[in-house]
A and B are shown apart, each in its own frame.
Chain A
Amino acid sequence: MRGLTTMKCILGYLAVIAFANAHAADADAAKSAANGDDPRLPPASVQRVEFARDIKPIFQKRCYECHGLSKDKGGLSLATRARAMDGGDNGKIILPGKSASSPIVHYTAALEEENAMPPKGERLSADQIGLIRAWIDQGAGWAADADELDPRVARTAEHWSFKPIKRPAVPAPKNSPWIRSPVDASILAKLDKAQLHPAPAASKEALLRRVYFDLTGLPPPLDAIKAFVTDSRPEAYAEIVDRLLASPAYGERWARHWLDVVRYSDSGGYETDIFYEQAWRYRDYVIRGFNEDKPYDRFLMEQVGGDELWPDQSETMQDATAVWTIGQWPNSLDSFPDMLEYVRRTDQVVTFSEAMLGMTVGCANCHNHKFDPITQRDYFGLEAIFSASETWNKNTNKKAWGKNERTAFRILRHAPAPTPIHLLTRGELTKPRGLVSPSIPAFLPGGGTLPDGPNESKQRRAELARWLVSPQNPLTARVIANRVWQWHFGQALAATPNDLGTQGLPPSHPELLEWLASELMESGWSLKKLHKLLLLSSTYRQSATREPNAIAADPQDTLLAGFPRRRLDAEEVWDQLHAAAGTLDTKSSGEPFVPKLSAEELQGIYDISKKPELKWAVTPDQNRRAIYILNRRSFRFPFFEAFDPPNSGVSCPVRQTTTVPAQALTLMNNSIVAAQAKSMAERLVREAGPDEAKCVRQAWLLAYSREANEAELKLATNFISASEAENQKQGMKEPHLAALIEFCLGIINTTEFIYSN
């Protein structure tokens, strides 16, 4: 104990000496200034002052109530050396070597009544002020270990997602044939504990539809259904999984998940809603990445700093880093470039943190995070990383803004010189405090200020990228393993996938998430291997029908005593509609296509030049997959509106599933639905001929990926006959086709059509 104290003293002393030597000239100047002191100031003490022993107790007793760790009134905190030297909203208060002109001395000596500190209670004594003066004159030394320890930082070490990833032992519940993998072992262990049982295996048809929608966003083709149902080989299912993972449709489905979390859009929003010509290249880059099973660590590195890491592959890296060029863009701010740049950096930091790091840092823009250990300094440290880059319009060869720009091909490139980043009081650009160097949040392993060097400004994102995927980063693997689980099972293991920080929800199956994260890293970050691991589990193959006691005990199905049934996403509803009708155009990649809309649907579109047709310029392609539909920030595709599309303003971690009348109205009365119902009816006639029962069987396979049962067959054929008779009575031209159209509309409006069990 004693040794430690001595050590502290020596370190503190050494720091003071070092400082005093380096700033000897300053100190001399201060001395002469001190000779001309304001006579009202108490004289500086002559003793050698040691911060921890002499000054900190004064701060603790009289200042920390308002200027400590939890409160920083006026932007001032005296809790740490860095914060104290930064000063507050009105500037620096400690000028090392110059006590007579240091505001802290003026305040404590109450030179002006309205600025007197502390504002309540007794004034500091002349001796105390004299000590503070001496401390400042001697260089204001402050040993690192004299900083107040933030309890939030202490908590950091204990928080599950900030601890190093350690591969856990797999729980070994009772020996059960149900267990196919460690995934099942974990799930079963929790079910056992809750005295629940897994649901029986799903029917082959249900499983096939489930895995098709899950991996490709499309229903299984009819021949695949027939082949799978009749294939009794145990490996048949695994072969399907392999085949789907190898199909290009896989990337088109899974890219959509990623596009949600990186707030993908083809335009900038606000009044101008500038069109991003490069956005689709990023979308295609993501699709390719998934299809090629690009290792996830490489995938992240390319997006964060690909241009800096692999300059020889500039074209690919330009597409990858385009993720930073597609955020919200209020370009009517163009006469205030500093503000616009600030909006850009904020979007980049917030998106990076939520999508890739899995931490919510946006709050630290304005104040130290109330709950997480992330500080404003951490936040602006990240901004400083992005401040070395700028968005550039390739078309005009100018920095990417301009009020009249309707369209731009934007790229990320290095700015001629990095913008200096200041810590901003309450996040307000007009209230800068100290400069902040580019840094990674200090409380995370491997975090801290980026290395300096001659070329450092061209390596900032590269450094961030390397750290992001380094083995010491505890978050990245957990974040993506958690997301992949969510995208298969509908809910993430840790239910706040954009925030694994101390404010997020803890995982329902912690050891399972640990295991998946370590398995992912060991597999070389292969997402396809992770998919396979999950899809081949018994957990995934369960039926979606749960026992009443399981529903009662676990309404949210967190424990997975049955597969969580899910409503299809907006894009899947579109794709399913066209697939069932046989009209789906599977042309991949390229510029977005623009479906034709009625005047009614176009009513909400605002165009700054009063030419909405420029904003929604209909293309010849009409029936491609939904991922290729133009995605405008200021005008969402009306068909999607009712089906909980992502909010592309910020990262969207989870699609909601709501049930609203607008869904019914869309599926009953949207003209595209009507056209697809007609195509589907014609397809039935073409493929099944005049026999009603055959038509119904075919329709059931197209719509529900299963055979109709006898009762359904009867219900449906009766409906068609009755409709046809009615239509005949009304004198319709093609009463049979009209009846089939009504039948198909009816099918499209059933729950099962847009659900996967």
Chain B
Amino acid sequence: MQNNHAMSRREMLSKSGMGIGALAFLDLLRKGAQAADNPLAPKSAHHAPKAKAVISLFMHGGPSQVDTFDPKPMLAKYAGQTLPASFSGLNLEFTKASTAKVLASKRQFKKCGKSGIEMSDIFQHLPDVADEMAVVRSCYHTEFNHAPALYMAHSGTRLMGRPSLGSWAVYGLGSESENLPGYVVMRDGPLKGGPITYSNGFLPAVYQATELRSSGAPILYLNKPDSISGTDQRRILDFSQQLNREYLAAQKEDSNLSARIAAYELAYRMQSAAPEAVDLTKEPDTVKALFGLDDAVTRPFGTQCLNARRLVERGVRFVQLYHGGGGDGWDTHGGNDAKHLRNGKQIDKPIAGLIADLKSRGLLDSTLVIWGGEFGRTPTSEGADGRDHSPYGYSVWMAGGGIKGGTVYGSTDDFGFKAEQNPVQVRDLHATILHLLGLQHDKLTFYFQGLQQRLTQIDGESRIIKEILA
């Protein structure tokens, strides 16, 4: 059996037989660790931030813009016909833009909220928070395969192994939590780009994501394996830490060595703090219902969303959620409509609940919520009823911290294929998100491969999308 990890700091200290001296020592370490030594200590932003935390809702596989947030009545008119020749040059993975036939959306769109943002009927609850949202309909990039597009959406380049947005955010701002990691990932299945999708890349490992798991122990290696279940971890740790302190004393001064002692204590605290953070038993039923935890369809993503809110409350800087991992998710090469209906059901209530709940707790003003995938989908068909990948014009929306709710920005052409008016590149999105966090994208740099690297890349301009800011 596991030891009971859910003990308070006081309990931990008394149980471990550490007296006041040990307590003082830990506090000393904590304070010491917040000085220059601790790369995770909260740092001041470049300018006053609008958002303190980010919850990114990533739709893995690539949701179709013309079935969600970008209504295109022209599709019904031209259904079954090929597109004008001006689209022929677009590279696609499984179909050809020159020969593929237009596929109409079966969804109905309606104007939502006071602002009248249009959404398709795969969303029944999201319209309630429409006035919090700013929809960018003109996102685009060049990568039409999942893995490079995932890397692009996370790190601004198609290459694998570059630092992701969450790592940059924690690098820039540090963490507000003493007991939890600053950058947390939750997903419902493996990603096509692998775990390296949310990598810290060349940034030091302190900025790496910690994956919070949906089943079993929330963090890898958080609990003892069965083979040593009978051991008393605190007793062992006290023994190790005593040797560590003597080693530190013998080596005179070394910040790495003291940081290591502190890291062990943080790990120990995480063992109780992480399960506590994702322990939903104390959440009232009304809140659970708000996130859809009372329904098997919405429960998995609702749980992720509720956990995300709890993590943000506890000072976690960046929470990255994935929907659609493992299976085909939003990658609707066949059965596009049915799968969008299915996926919509799974995420609709949880996301609407998340935004409403953040708002009622006064957290929405300081929490930026982002929704989007690695790309959108073609307005044309693949097979009878599927849609191919398309990065040339897709929708992303944001809400909360610093966002002007009820906004629609940019547009695609009449078929919803290419970004047309006010096109937005991934690096513009990244620059905007960093801006809301109080960071200047061109000042947040790290030396690697001969250059001061940055999330928004050094070649080409990035634009903060001022039009969607409050």
Q: Mark B221-262, 1 if CB is under 8 A from A, else 0.
A: 111110110111101110110111011101111101101110
Most buried by B among A606, A635, A668: A668
Q: Whose C-beta in chain B lies nearest to the C-beta of A642?
A: B205
Instruction: Identify the closest chain B residue to A639 (Cβ).
Output: B221
**Which residue of B161, B204, B239 contacts A648 across the interface (Cβ within 8 Å)?**
B161
Q: Is B290 part of the binding interface, using a Cβ–Cβ cutoff of 8 Å? A: no
User: Which has the most chain A C-beta neighbours within 10 Å: B191, B204, B240, B459?
Assistant: B240
- Shortest CB-to-CB span from B38 to chain A, Å, is 9
Q: Which of A332, A335, A600, A715 is close to B242, meaning CB atoms less than 8 Å apart? A: A715
A649, B204: Cβ atoms under 8 Å?
A: no
- Min CB distance, B201 to chain A, in Å? 6
Would you call B407 an interface residue if the criterion is a C-beta within 8 Å of the partner chain's C-beta atoms?
no
A722 to chain B, nearest CB (A): 8
Asked if A669 is at the interface of the complex by the 8 Å CB criterion, the answer is yes
Kindly state the separation between the CA atoms of A194 and B126 in the bound complex, as whole angstroms. 66
**Quick check: A660 and B450 within 8 Å, CB to CB?**
no
Question: Among the listed stretches B6-14, B108-116, B209-217, which one makes contact with chain A, having 4 or more residues with CB under 8 Å of it?
Answer: B209-217
Q: Does A661 contact B (CB under 8 A)?
A: yes
Question: B243: which A residues are within 8 A, CB to CB?
Answer: 712, 715, 746-747, 750-752
Residue A24 lies at the interface, judged by CB distance under 8 Å to chain B: no
In the complex, A498→B201 CA distance in Å? 17
A360-B450, A600-B216, A635-B195 given as contacts; is B161 within 8 A of A650 (CB)?
yes
Is residue B263 within 8 Å, beta carbon to beta carbon, of the partner chain?
yes
Which listed residue (B93, B223, B225, B239) contacts A746, Cβ 8 A?
B239
B336 CB-CB contact with A under 8 Å: no
The one of B233, B270, B449 in contact with A354, judged by C-beta atoms closer than 8 angstroms, is B449
A659 within 8 A of B: yes
Q: Which residues of B contact A325 (CB under 8 A)?
A: none
Give A503 to B451 CA distance when docked, in angstroms.
Answer: 8
Q: Quick check: is A730 within 8 A (CB to CB) of the other chain? A: yes
Check if B125 is an interface residue, CB within 8 A of chain A. Answer: no
With A600-B216, A604-B190 known as contacts, the answer to whether A749 contacts B264 (CB < 8 A) is yes
Most buried by B among A362, A544, A634, A642: A634
Interface pair B252/A545, CB less than 8 Å apart = yes
A620 adjacent to chain B (CB < 8 Å): no
Contact of A726 among B190, B235, B247, B458 (CB under 8 A): B235
A634 and B196 contact, Cβ closer than 8 Å, known pairs A649-B160, A664-B263, A757-B251: yes
With contacts defined as CB atoms under 8 Å apart, how many contacts are there between chain A and chain B in the complex? 241
Which of A544, A675, A726, A757 is the one whose CB lies under 8 Å from B232? A726
Report A-chain residues with C-beta under 8 Å of the C-beta of B16: none
Which partner residue on chain A sits nearest B33 by CB separation?
A659
Instruction: Chain B residues near A675: list those with CB within 8 A.
Output: 227
Is A330's CB within 8 Å of the partner chain B? Answer: yes
The answer, yes or no, to whether A638 is at the interface (CB within 8 Å) is yes
Whether the Cβ atoms of B192 and A333 lie closer than 8 Å is: no
- Among the listed A600, A635, A746, which residue makes an inter-chain contact with B217, where contact means beta carbons less than 8 Å apart? A600
- A273, A367, A503, A732: the one within 8 Å of B459 (CB): A367
A649 vs B213: C-alpha distance when bound (angstroms): 26
Among residues of A, the one whose C-beta sits closest to the C-beta of B243 is: A750
**B159 with A659: CB separation less than 8 A:** no
For B240, list chain A residues within 8 Å (CB). Answer: 746-747, 749-750
- Contact between B159 and A636 (Cβ–Cβ < 8 Å)? no
| Most chain B beta carbons < 10 A, residue from A330, A606, A608 | A606
Minimal Cβ-Cβ distance residue in A for B224: A669
Residues on B with beta carbons closer than 8 Å to the beta carbon of A743: 239
Q: Is A723 an interface residue (CB 8 A)?
A: yes
Q: Which one of A669, A723, A752 lies within 8 Å of B235 (CB-CB)?
A: A723
B438 close to chain A: CB less than 8 A: no
A282 to chain B, nearest CB (A): 20
- Selected interface stretch from B50-58, B73-81, B129-137, B142-150: B142-150
Residue B370 interfacial (CB < 8 Å): no
- Are B205 and A270 within 8 A (Cβ)? no
- Can you list, as one digit per residue, whether each of A655-666 has a CB less than 8 Å from chain B (1) or not (0)? 011111111111
Would A657 and B236 be within 8 Å (CB), given that A360-B449, A363-B451, A544-B251 are in contact?
A: no
Within 8 A of B (CB), among A242-272: 269-271
Interface membership of chain B positions 248-284, coded 1 if the CB is closer than 8 angstroms to chain A and 0 otherwise = 1011111011011101101110110000000000000
Question: B350 in the interface, Cβ–Cβ < 8 Å?
Answer: no
Asked whether B244 lies within 8 Å of A601 as measured between CB atoms, the reply is no
For A372, what are the chain B residues with a Cβ–Cβ distance below 8 Å?
450
What residues on B are CB-neighbors of A670 within 8 Å? 221, 225
Query: Of A608, A648, A669, which one neighbours B225 at CB under 8 angstroms?
Result: A669
- Please determine whether B451 and A360 come into contact, CB atoms closer than 8 angstroms: yes
Q: Which of A426, A659, A726, A746 has the most CB of B within 10 A?
A: A659
* B343-363 interface with A by 8 A CB criterion: none
Across-interface contacts of B261 in A (CB, < 8 A): 751
Residues of A within 8 A of B158 (CB): 330
Taking the complex as formed, is B87 at the interface, i.e. its CB lies under 8 A from any CB of chain A?
A: no
How close is A683's CB to chain B, nearest CB, in angstroms? 17
- A665 contacts B237, CB within 8 Å? no
Point out the residue from B196, B221, B263, B268 that lies within 8 Å of A660, measured CB to CB. B263
**CA gap between A605 and B202 in the complex, in Å:** 21
- B19 CB within 8 Å of chain A: no
Q: Is B208's beta carbon under 8 Å from chain A?
A: yes
Complex Cα gap A545–B251 (Å): 6
Least CB separation from A730: chain B residue: B230
Contacts of B45 in A (CB 8 A): none
Which residues from 183 to 206 on chain B have a C-beta closer than 8 Å to any C-beta of chain A? 190-196, 199, 201-202, 204-206
A108 at the interface (CB under 8 A from B): no
Answer whether residue B85 sits at the interface, using C-beta atoms and an 8 A cutoff.
Answer: no
- Bound together, the chains give a CA A749 to CA B205 distance in angstroms of 19
Cα distance, A659 to B248, chains bound together (Å): 15
- A742 interface hit (Cβ, 8 Å): yes
Q: Cα distance A415–B225 when bound, in Å?
A: 53
Interface membership of A501, Cβ < 8 A: yes
* CA distance in complex: A354, B448 (Å): 12
Chain B residues within an 8 Å CB radius of A499: 449-450
**A498-528 near B? 1/0 per residue, CB < 8 Å:** 1101011000000000000000000000000
Which A residue's beta carbon lies closest to that of B253?
A551
Question: Is A603 in contact with chain B by the CB < 8 A criterion?
Answer: yes
Contact A270/B147 with A601-B220, A664-B267, A741-B228 known, Cβ cut-off 8 Å = yes
Q: Are A647 and B235 in contact (CB under 8 A)?
A: no
Does residue B127 face the partner (Cβ distance < 8 Å to A)?
no
Do A741 and B231 have beta carbons less than 8 Å apart? Answer: yes
Question: Are B193 and A647 closer than 8 Å at their CB atoms?
Answer: no
Please report the C-alpha to C-alpha distance between residue A644 and residue B207 in the assembled complex, in whole angstroms: 11
Q: Is A328 in contact with B450, judged by CB distance below 8 angstroms? A: no
State the CA gap A559–B230 with chains docked (Å).
49
B147 adjacent to A362 (CB under 8 Å): no
Q: Which chain B residues border A503 with CB–CB below 8 Å?
A: 450-451
| Residues of chain B within 8 A of A544, CB atoms compared | 251
Complex CA–CA separation, A551 to B161 (angstroms) = 35
A666 close to B194 (CB less than 8 A): no
Q: Give 24 A-B contacts (CB < 8 Å), ordered by A residue.
A: A271-B193, A335-B93, A499-B450, A544-B251, A598-B225, A604-B190, A605-B190, A605-B194, A635-B195, A638-B220, A642-B205, A649-B159, A649-B161, A658-B205, A659-B260, A662-B220, A668-B221, A668-B237, A677-B228, A723-B232, A732-B230, A742-B232, A742-B235, A746-B236
Task: Contacts A638-B220, A719-B239 known; list 8 others, CB within 8 Å.
Answer: A270-B145, A273-B194, A499-B449, A565-B256, A633-B160, A665-B222, A668-B267, A722-B235
Interface positions of A (Cβ within 8 A of B): 269-271, 273, 328, 330, 332-333, 335-336, 354, 360, 362-363, 366-367, 372, 426, 496, 498-499, 501, 503-504, 544-546, 548, 551, 565, 567, 598, 600-601, 603-608, 612, 633-636, 638, 641-642, 644, 647-650, 656-666, 668-671, 674-675, 677-678, 711-712, 715-716, 719, 722-723, 726-727, 730, 732, 738, 741-743, 745-747, 749-752, 757
Please name the 9 residue pairs, one residue from A and one from B, whose CB atoms are nearest each other, closest first: A649-B161, A360-B450, A634-B194, A664-B267, A606-B190, A661-B267, A671-B225, A270-B147, A665-B221
